[in-house]
Amino acid sequence: GVGISAVALPLRAQQLMPAQDLRPLIRGVAGDLPPRPGRIRLTLPQLAENGNSVPLVVSVESPMTPPDHVTAIAIFNERNPERDVARFALGPRSGLARVSMRIRLATSQRLVAVARTSDGAYWSDAIDVVVVLAACIEGES
């Protein structure tokens, strides 16, 4: 399978943005085809003790054969300064449609994953994560 590890760059608390509508980013990936629920699963702890390093896994049900495979996965979040978390290109030689990484979460928020399959369909999943100790909050002098 494809295993990718990444940690987002540190964020400063004053850069935290209010929650934003992720639909424009999703449209940027899927165009006018609204992604359907199903086939894709976004897994994160729903309660993160510390937002500095939260494990994230995206998996998509697919045989990953030349005629039927996942071609791309995109992950978005609504409250970090960078909304576009990661994008992955996959193909039948990937073996599994699964990516994993660690993400820094500035605060509690919703994350959305979108997958494109070789037949041109788009699938999505979303999860709300509550962050107990927000990442990126620095003490004041």
| pTM across the whole model | 0.81
* pLDDT of 4 higher than 60: no
Show the tokens assigned to 34: 């609204």
Handedness of CA 40, 43, 125, 89 (dihedral sign): negative
Mean pLDDT, rounded, of the chain:
85
Give how far the C-alpha of residue 49 lies from the chain's centroid of Cα atoms, to the nearest Å: 19
The Cα 100–Cα 95 span in angstroms is 15
pLDDT band at 134 (very low <50, low <70, confident <90, very high): low
Q: What angle do CA 131, 136, 137 make, to 5 degrees?
A: 85
Show the tokens assigned to 7: 């940690």
The Cα 131–Cα 34 span in angstroms is 29
The pLDDT score that the predictor gives to residue 11 is 41
- Beta carbons of 108 and 129 less than 8 angstroms apart: yes
Handedness of CA 131, 26, 99, 40 (dihedral sign): positive
Q: Which residue has the higher pLDDT, 106 or 91?
A: 91
Give how far the C-alpha of residue 106 lies from the chain's centroid of Cα atoms, to the nearest Å: 15
For residue 50, which phi and psi values (nearest 5 degrees)? -140, 125
Tens of pLDDT, residues 98-111: 999 999 998 999 99
CB-based burial of residue 108 (10 Å sphere; 0-12 exposed, 13-18 middle, 19+ buried)? middle
* pLDDT of 7 higher than 50: no
Mean pLDDT of 33-59: 93
Tens of pLDDT, residues 107-123: 999 999 999 999 999 99
